[in-house]
Amino acid sequence: MKYRNLGNTGLKVSEIGFGGEWLERHTEEESVELIRYAGQKGINIIDCWMPDPKSRDIIGKGMEGNRENWIVQGHIGSTWQDGQYVRSREMKYVVPAFEDILKRMKTDYIDLGMIHYIDSAEDWDKSMNTDFIRYVRELHDTGVIRHIGLSTHNPRIGRMAVETGFVEMLLFSINPAFDMHPATENLDDMFGEYEQGLSGIDKERADFYRLCEEKNIGITVMKGFFGGRLFDAKTSPFGKAFTPVQCIHYALTRPGVSSILCGYDTKEQIDEAVSYETASENEKDYASVIASAPLHSYSGQCTYCGHCKPCPVNIDIAMVNKFYDLAIQQPEVPESVMEHYKALGTTASECIGCRGCESRCPFGVEVADRMIKTAELFGC
């Protein structure tokens, strides 16, 4: 495993990191073992934006006895309310949620205290110069968080964060598809036409990466695989399939990037990501895929990120979408997919069409319409 400086934080992070958002999908024993296995492979950075107790317990147990060798991105503003994730700046929710991270991870510090998920200027204005930011600063001043970070999908917000002078690193979404489109607060507008070849990378995004490199602000990468859609020519917006190694290489070749945080369900997936370190230049080559791709436009594709939560009737929207996407690839709904879908308990037919989830979706997914299609497909 190779390690890179995370900007000017003084931390050295593994090029391949651990994005832990699906840990709760498995048994605690399986997920704990997955984290320990990743550590054995040299992975030393893990992101925990998830507020649910199970995920946090798993990470704590996975690091137990080895905490000093892990670098944790813990998010401030990701809260657990009535059994669901809610992004919040209200201190009555923010403080207990952060204190819960420390308790469940059995630690008295978080390496990277992340200002959680700001994509719009309005949210930026509501967050800055408030008790929320004062709390972040207080945590930093007292050493409870060692460094201040921020997560965003919007390069304009990223630039604003860099220019504050107090944000030391960023968690940012990077993949070949995203980089072909301009910054926007409304990501419905993000997926328009783009030019072929690397010359099509949006200038504002390229300038943002260069600014981070210039200011020595490290970037850790989320959504590097675009929810796995880049691995299949049928779902890739390029009409061409990428490999995990190509996506990893793309992210790691952006200026300012220190680590890409991949999601794992199995040890084999960890091995596949870590194989990047021994891959040939031909195996890493993503430029030929982009340059030869036909023009495409797309919108409204779910990456199962979970930001659509909370749902007033407790639908696990991301998993419903995932099972729908799996099912429509087959002539008939596979029995295994049907069983997993029904095991969710609350299915798409329970959707009340409030569309609150759509206002929170970073990718403009028409969730309510998908719930109708899913209920028709699965019959419940």
Say if residue 298 is exposed, middle or buried (CB neighbours under 10 Å; 0-12, 13-18, 19+).
middle
Q: Which carries the bigger pLDDT value, residue 306 or residue 158?
A: 158
Q: Give the residue carrying structure tokens 């080559």.
A: 285
Q: Select from 158, 166, 313, 292 the least CA-distant residue to 238.
A: 292
Q: What is the pLDDT of residue 325?
A: 79
Q: Domain for residue 299, yes or no? A: no
Q: How many CB atoms lie within 10 A of CB 149?
A: 30
Chain segment 5-17, per-residue pLDDT in tens: 999 999 999 999 9
- Whichever domain contains 183, its CATH number is 3.20.20.100
Chain segment 159-218, per-residue pLDDT in tens: 999 999 999 999 999 998 888 765 655 444 443 444 443 345 677 888 899 889 888 999
Chain segment 136-148, per-residue pLDDT in tens: 999 999 999 999 9
Q: What is the pLDDT of residue 144?
A: 98
Domain that holds residue 334: 317-378
Q: Domain for residue 368, yes or no? A: yes
Last residue of a domain, one of 273, 291, 309: 291
Q: Domain for residue 300, yes or no? A: no
Establish whether the linkage from the previous residue to 334 is cis, with ω within 30° of 0.
no
Beta-strand ranges (E) seen in the chain are: 3-5, 12-14, 16-19, 45-48, 71-76, 78-81, 84-87, 110-115, 145-152, 169-173, 218-222, 257-263
Q: Domain for residue 131, yes or no? A: yes
Last residue of a domain, one of 291, 308, 335: 291
Q: Lowest-pLDDT range, 63-77, 140-154, 220-234?
A: 220-234
Inter-residue contact 84 to 311 (CB < 8 Å): yes
Q: Domain for residue 303, yes or no? A: no
Chain segment 79-119, per-residue pLDDT in tens: 999 999 999 999 999 999 999 999 999 999 999 999 999 99
Chain segment 260-291, per-residue pLDDT in tens: 999 999 999 999 999 999 999 889 988 777 76
Q: Place 295 in a pLDDT band, splitting at 50, 70 and 90.
A: low
Chain segment 44-75, per-residue pLDDT in tens: 999 999 999 999 999 999 999 999 999 999 99
Q: What is the pLDDT of residue 235?
A: 80
DSSP letters, 168-236, are -EEEEE--TTGGGS---SSGGGS-----SSGGGS-HHHHHHHHHHHHHT-EEEEE-TTGGGGGGSTTTS
Q: What is the pLDDT of residue 207?
A: 86
Verify that 267 and 125 share a domain, yes or no. yes
Q: Domain for residue 302, yes or no? A: no
What are phi and psi for residue 220, nearest 5 degrees?
A: -105, 145
CA distance 164 to 242: 36
Verify that 278 and 346 share a domain, yes or no. no
**360 is written with which tokens?**
């929170």
Verify that 12 and 133 share a domain, yes or no. yes
Last residue of a domain, one of 291, 325, 348: 291
Q: Lowest-pLDDT range, 5-9, 153-157, 215-219, 336-340?
A: 336-340
Report CA Rg, the chain: 20
Verify that 38 and 110 share a domain, yes or no. yes
**25 is written with which tokens?**
């999908």
Verify that 9 and 106 share a domain, yes or no. yes
Q: How many domains does the chain have?
A: 2
Residue type, 155: P
Q: Domain for residue 307, yes or no? A: no
DSSP secondary structure code for residue 240 in this structure: S
Secondary structure string (H, E, C) spanning 5-30: ECCCCCCEEECEEEECCCHHHCCHHH
